[in-house]
Amino acid sequence: MRGLTFLLAASFLAGAPALAQQAKTMDDPYIWLEDKDGAKPLAWVEAENARTLPRLQNDPRYATFYREALAIASAKDRIPMPSQRYGRILNFWRDADHPQGLWRWTTMADYANPQPAWKTLIDLDALSKAEGKKWVWKGATCLEPEERLCLVALSEGGEDAVTYREFDLEVGRFVDNGFLLPKSKQGAEWLDKDTLLVSRDWGAGTMTTSGYPFVVKLVKRGQPLTAATEVYRGGAEDQLGTYASVLTDGSGHRIVFMERRQDFFGGDKAVWTPSGTRKLDMPARAFPSGMVDGQVVFTTSDDWGAVPAGAIAAVPVAELEAGRATPKLVFQPTPRQAVDGVATTRDTLVVTYMDNVRGRMAVMTPGANGWTTKQVALPDNVSIDLASTTDRSDQLFLTVTGFLTPTALYSYDAAGSAAPREIRATPARFNAAGLKVEQFEATSTDGTKVPYFVVHRADAPLDGQTPTIMTAYGGFELPMTPSYSGGTGKLWLERGGAYVLANIRGGGEFGPKWHDAGLKTKRQVIYDDFASVAKDLFRRKLTNPAKLGIYGGSNGGLLMGVEFTQHPDLWKAVTIQVPLLDMVRYQSIAAGASWEGEYGSIEKPDEAAFLRRISPYANIRKDVTYPEPYIWTTTKDDRVGPQHARKFAARLKEYGKPYLFYEDTAGGHSGDADIEQGARLQALQMTYFAQKLMGAAPAK
């Protein structure tokens, strides 16, 4: 290709970045679709939606799928997940009457009742109506240890950019003339009740090229933002941003970290005090994750002294305040294990981890002679997640879930001897009778064993005819683990389909080495792993290419795009969700510049050549027969952006290839504006899979 030849030659010359930028736009007739909110691109989107939606929504199955998905998402017998704050249980809740959601509370004692008497703090539907904006909940950060005052994060339509507003839990309303941080990609931490540490867009020259803040300032109560005082800064060239974080523990210790993320995966750390900043000599990919009894707990994806990558370490707070960081090993997973979650209670460290992608939990307690470890007995073949912990006690809540195991909530005293106690369980959302879960391994192209799960009918004949949908993520050290999906079960498994979850490299299922094996120019192994799982399914005669559909979002959307272009013969259906697809220009779109640590850079010749070789947008061919994909995205996505999906669909159209394209106008990167949007997106996708893998809808 002429653009690639020019790029590789120009990269060796003076002024290579400018020339490379010019090369990125050559031979690309769809740059105009990158104008995210422009009138012409939005008109194109409207026309594409008008073509796609009737095809899917006029299928008689769509209405049933939507009704079932919405019923599951809005069911009032779901578990109200707890957050322990201010001596209360707080919860964010959505249902059919409150599609955008309620932030509410009840007492600790009342939460134990089957039907707690919830008291509303914020009604997002009412607030949105009153203010003429579609507010989407993005969480709350509360002042420690008092917890009465909180900064509530609200997003317009689901964007990553948020507005912070101060809320008083005691009186149940926004604070008059309280802290207000207008819309920005930003982070805010409480230093004390009258002071915040804020990273945000302070004006020209304070945001990185990827769109994240790199200047931290002190914001005082009652002062305008223009009077904020700078206390720390990163650099405009950083891939991510610079943020403050405040850790406390039940013993009264407190420490403030500054984290400069030169790379998506890590960067510099420093301890900040009003009298100065002490930079810490520690690996880029080691991060403070909590504190207990004056011991700051770190997770690390790099070797750190005697602490290996993937382990958990601790450093005394006094040592860190002196500018030193000599870690002591707390927990070391085996090669087939990986740390999943870390949290602290008043007296303990609680760790959830995976053992061959199966959930485990342990409690570590610091003492004069080091840390003691207690394994916690919980059901097997499930995922275990920490739902809520607090510095005020050792009481915690955790969830247990599996493919056929409805999510259950457990209460547990981490410092006690009693076993965890189930206190709530999600009712079954689909009929799991006759279904079974199996875990297999596929052999990838380099001989690596890649595990995957299959959920299917136990009596299904192994004749290769089972309609099957398969997913994976394969990036950013994020694992994909067993979980209960009422929508997948009701809409797909109940109708005879099978579901496959592939634990390919690039994720975190086996720690940082599993992730690092697919970084940058090594990334082809990720795509080979996924294709190898598909071929193993065929070998086992579970399904065949005419009955196999695949789907994934974000980085998983890139995975789908690569599989679509590299192996069009392996799938009958491909759903590509909120994806990256133009890997030649990804650094110039939305927050793309922040992911150079994962994908590599178009400015570096070897990485540019690889990106060009795997970029789905660049590798669609006129002379290749492809399955008809379903591509969907959202206009409000300010992380990946809808530009990738638009351009990919436009290229398919140019080449006369079949495709379906849908762009929702709200929801951000996760499509979570309200429960109705989630149900609609799920119903559209499942209708597409049913059309492709199960045939025409049965006659009424």
Q: Which residues contact 293 (CB under 8 A, 6 or more apart)?
A: 249, 250, 251, 347, 366
Half-sphere exposure of 477 (CA within 13 A, CB side): 21
Q: Please answer whether residues 216 and 206 qualify as being in contact, where contact means their C-beta atoms are separated by less than 8 angstroms.
A: no
CA distance 350 to 343: 5
Residue 23 in contact with residue 608, Cβ under 8 Å?
Answer: no
DSSP 213: B
- The CA R_g of the chain, rounded to the nearest whole Å, is 25
Tell me if residue 4 falls in helix, strand or coil: helix
Q: How many whole angstroms separate alpha carbon 381 and alpha carbon 682?
A: 26
Cα separation of the two ends of the chain: 52
How far CA 384 is from CA of 1, 427, 505, in Å, comes to 49, 18, 21
How many Å is the maximal CA-CA distance in the chain? Answer: 76
Question: Per the residue annotation, which of 98, 456, 515, 669 is the catalytic one?
Answer: 669
Pull the structure tokens for residue 105.
Answer: 């509370």
Which are the contacts of 16, defined by CB distance < 8 A and separation ≥ 6? Answer: 10, 603
Q: Which of 543, 404, 591 is nearest to 482 (CA)?
A: 404
Structure-block tokens of residue 567: 């192996």
Strand positions, DSSP E, 58-148: 83-85, 88-95, 98-107, 119-123, 135-142
Cα 609 to Cα 13, 455, 525, 596, 603: the distances in Å are 16, 39, 16, 14, 10
Q: What are phi and psi of 190, to 5 degrees?
A: -80, 130
> Catalytic site residue 554?
yes
The span from the CA of 600 to the CA of 610, in Å, is 9
CB atoms closer than 10 angstroms to residue 474: 26
CA neighbor of 56 nearest in space, from 570, 664, 552: 664
The single residue of 83, 301, 554, 594 carrying the catalytic annotation is 554
Q: Which amino acids are annotated catalytic?
A: 554, 669
